Structure 1
Amino acid sequence: MTHTPILQTVEMLSPATMETFAAAAPPTHALPATPGTVRWGSIDPTATPVLTVDSGARLDVEAVSHHAGDAPELMLDEGLHAIWSAFPESERGPGVHVLTGPVAVSGAHPGGAVAVRIESTAPRAPYGSNCAANWGLLHSDFGKERITIYRLDDASFPTLARPEFAYDFRSRPVYDVPGWLSPADARIDEPFGRPVRIPVRPHLGVVGVLPPGTEPVSTVPPGVFGGNVDNWRFGEGATIFFPVFHEGAGVYVGDPHFAQGDGEVCGTAIEASMNATIRVAAVDDVEIRTPVLETATHWFTHGFGDDLDAAAVMAVREMIALLRWRVGLSADDAYSLVSVAGDLGVTQVVDGVLGAHCGIDRSIFT
């Protein structure tokens, strides 16, 4: 999908940078998920790029779900088996996600920014898994973990998803091994309570740049570098801007989802491996400190914290800063505008570091 700006609204990018994205036939690079191009569970700021591309390049990238083992007979193909075999359980961690990358973007320098535009997404297999997990919001209410397998209605994408079957997770005391395999003969599958249809909102749960510092970090907590933001709006047509902390930025993707609601309250979305086409560009005309999302209609700023109050404060402060820089408002005017025209929401409550987002419709600046 080609990004089509709303001509009457304010864009994040300057005309010069927009021209980079408007190139009719940018170089396209294949980035399959293989044992040599993925990391499992950690983001290493010193990692050697698996690929270096020019600013404005297009990438056909494979994003892998670490929950493919919840129904391996449906979601674990030959390529994913190779990754599972290459990373024994002892070498997965300290986080849980399989990340494809990092990719160095020429011209992306510390202190600047990099833009990642998601052009299209497609399912690797027509099945995904939802885990009501020990890290979910209400685990103490249920006292167990439960897996629900969802199936896409047909081959078109996006479409609808329907619950296919569910089972209580009993093969371990808790779901604490990333990529744990639960074969069909070790489960007691049960039908879902009644027919439902879930609108599919395909997106990347994890997308970001290498974090500040030199020490590897877990893939679970999000931060100013992006990572496991879990904003369902990070899908087709979205452009996400990240501050750059290391030369080349080091863009990576992972944790693909078929669908998720704000909050991701039970612990996961519909986790499903996915292929995506993205564009990456170094930008030097953007002033940001945390990830900023631009959709066809809105801007969203993000906040992170140990509690929702801290996350909300950061998201609102970043929106005020964005409006001051990009629209030219005073702090007083921006604060008022966010209160009367902005929407503050909970991104997720299950990633250790909690997330909030603040959105505003760009058409009000016509």
Structure 2
Amino acid sequence: MSLLNVNDLTQEDRSQANAMHTLKASVDTCHWGYFSATEAPSLVVESGDIIQAEAITHHAGDAPELMMDESLKQIWKGIPAADRNPGVHLMTGPIYVKDAQPGDMLEVRYLSMRPRFSYGSNLAAHWGHLYSELGEKERVTIYRLDMASMQAHGHYAYDFSGKYEVPGTITECPECKRETTLNGVRVPVRPHLGTAGVAPDASGRVSTIEPGKHGGNIDNWRIGAGSTMYYPVQVEGGLFSIGDPHVSQGDGEISGTAIEASLDVTMQIILRKDFAFPSPLLETPNYFVVHGFDEDLNIAMKNASLDMLELLSTHRGLSKDDAYSLMSVGSDFGVTQVVDTVQGVHGKILRSIVDTGEPDNS
């Protein structure tokens, strides 16, 4: 198997792409809170096609005067609150990939991610890790984005009355007190998708909140421009969707959210029938990254470890005993998030450690 990174996409590769598509977010191309094996495709593509798609944050209502335009307002009007379930994320798609079948992999090369607006929102939510310790209140912090310096600055903050329970809530901040001590703080901007994946092989709607083998709400800030994700196809066509766009997040996503901000995403989708992997696999310019999920963080850690063992043995030719040794001395495991019911652990290893020779093209 040869795992390719987006940096390997040359101008010749781009010219050989079958087609380029635009997928704008609208009532007709969005589904709110779920993946579904029966959702009608918003776009049909062939392997190698490039797609320019809009990913919209469901937190745009935290500062609608800064984070919404007329097209977003139409989505909010067109998808009633009662139809935003069982999860919370506003998803664009799905994209049907011709000839994709269960057992295949979708290689998604994320080429660029650009903020749609100059502002984003962080919610300290009731599902955050320190909700009880901070007085059981929810607080919204609005950040201003400076793309020239790739930094986010604290703009203002306010306490949200009650609990943020309806996806896409318009918080009516003009009626609240605005304050923050973050004015001088600068946070690195690293745009990425919190939620993206294929449709699970399940009946009915599957919540966008929990991550799994299909992808979903992985919340790994490394899934940004310059990275490649490999998603195991579950149903015919894959039915790939994107949403939950972020511009900054730390490992853990401790308050419950990142800096949530809409992104314009350019990506290339390639159908891979030459290898399989048990979970979403991430490749960055410097690392291979595996993911493990479970409600129990210890089990999530074990699942990530088993997938790292799979990567190093099956796909990089090491014996399992040697791979296990290398994992302990040469790989790093971390907590991806602890706020999505199903918790996440990621394990990363430098490509330079395991790519010392010619790639395995078998």
TM-score norm. by structure 1 comes to: 0.92
Whether contact under 8 Å (1:164, 1:192) holds in the other structure is no
1:131 aligns with 2:123: yes
Secondary structure (helix, strand or coil) at the match of 1:147 reads strand
Whether contact under 8 Å (2:291, 2:347) holds in the other structure is yes
Which of residues 106, 116, 120 is equivalent to 2:112? Answer: 120
Change in 2 beyond 3 A, CA 1:124/1:335 = same
Q: Counterpart in 2 of 1:93?
A: 85
Inter-partner Cα distance in structure 2 for 1:87 and 1:215: 18
TM-aligned CA deviation for residue 228 of structure 1: 0.6
Inter-partner Cα distance in structure 1 for 2:32 and 2:12: 31
Inter-partner Cα distance in structure 1 for 2:242 and 2:279: 17
Inter-partner Cα distance in structure 2 for 1:58 and 1:355: 29
Report the count of equivalent residues: 351
Provide structure 2 residue ranges, at least 5 long, that are not aligned to the other structure: 357-362
Inter-partner Cα distance in structure 2 for 1:280 and 1:180: 33
Secondary structure (helix, strand or coil) at the match of 1:235 reads coil
Whether contact under 8 Å (2:52, 2:264) holds in the other structure is yes
Inter-partner Cα distance in structure 2 for 1:213 and 1:184: 39
Provide structure 1 residue ranges, at least 5 long, that are not aligned to the other structure: 1-9
Inter-partner Cα distance in structure 2 for 1:127 and 1:305: 33
Q: Counterpart in 1 of 2:64?
A: 72
Q: Counterpart in 1 of 2:359?
A: none
Q: Counterpart in 1 of 2:153?
A: 162
Secondary structure (helix, strand or coil) at the match of 2:248 reads coil
- RMSD of the alignment, in Å? 1.8
Q: In the TM superposition, what whole-angstrom CA distance separates every residue of 1:207-253 from its partner, at most 9, and x where no partner exists?
A: 11111222211110111100110000000011000111111111110
Inter-partner Cα distance in structure 1 for 2:59 and 2:191: 16
1:305 aligns with 2:276: no
TM-aligned CA deviation for residue 21 of structure 1: 9.3
Change in 2 beyond 3 A, CA 1:194/1:84 = closer
Whether contact under 8 Å (2:279, 2:291) holds in the other structure is yes
Secondary structure (helix, strand or coil) at the match of 1:249 reads coil
Inter-partner Cα distance in structure 2 for 1:72 and 1:282: 38
Q: Counterpart in 1 of 2:22?
A: 30
1:148 aligns with 2:141: yes
| 1:266 maps to amino acid | S
Q: How does 1:1-12 map to 2 (within 5 A)?
A: 11-12=2-3
Q: Counterpart in 2 of 1:331?
A: 320
TM-aligned CA deviation for residue 112 of structure 1: 1.1
Percent identity between the two aligned chains: 48
Whether contact under 8 Å (2:158, 2:178) holds in the other structure is yes
Change in 2 beyond 3 A, CA 1:190/1:18 = closer
Q: How does 1:155-304 map to 2 (within 5 A)?
A: 156=148, 159-170=150-161, 173-304=162-293
Inter-partner Cα distance in structure 2 for 1:48 and 1:182: 32
TM-score norm. by structure 2 comes to: 0.93
Q: In the TM superposition, what whole-angstrom CA distance separates every residue of 1:155-176 from its partner, at most 9, and x where no partner exists?
A: x4x7100010000111xx2110
TM-aligned CA deviation for residue 183 of structure 1: 2.4
| 2:280 maps to amino acid | P
Change in 2 beyond 3 A, CA 1:228/1:341 = same
Q: In the TM superposition, what whole-angstrom CA distance separates every residue of 1:120-161 from its partner, at most 9, and x where no partner exists?
A: 01111000000000000010101211000000125x4x7100
Q: Counterpart in 2 of 1:104?
A: 96
| 2:261 maps to amino acid | A
TM-aligned CA deviation for residue 19 of structure 1: 9.3
TM-aligned CA deviation for residue 43 of structure 1: 1.1
1:56 aligns with 2:48: yes
Inter-partner Cα distance in structure 2 for 1:359 and 1:348: 15
Q: In the TM superposition, what whole-angstrom CA distance separates every residue of 1:324-359 from its partner, at most 9, and x where no partner exists?
A: 121111111111111100000101000010000010
Inter-partner Cα distance in structure 2 for 1:107 and 1:20: 25
Secondary structure (helix, strand or coil) at the match of 1:85 reads helix
Change in 2 beyond 3 A, CA 1:288/1:20 = farther
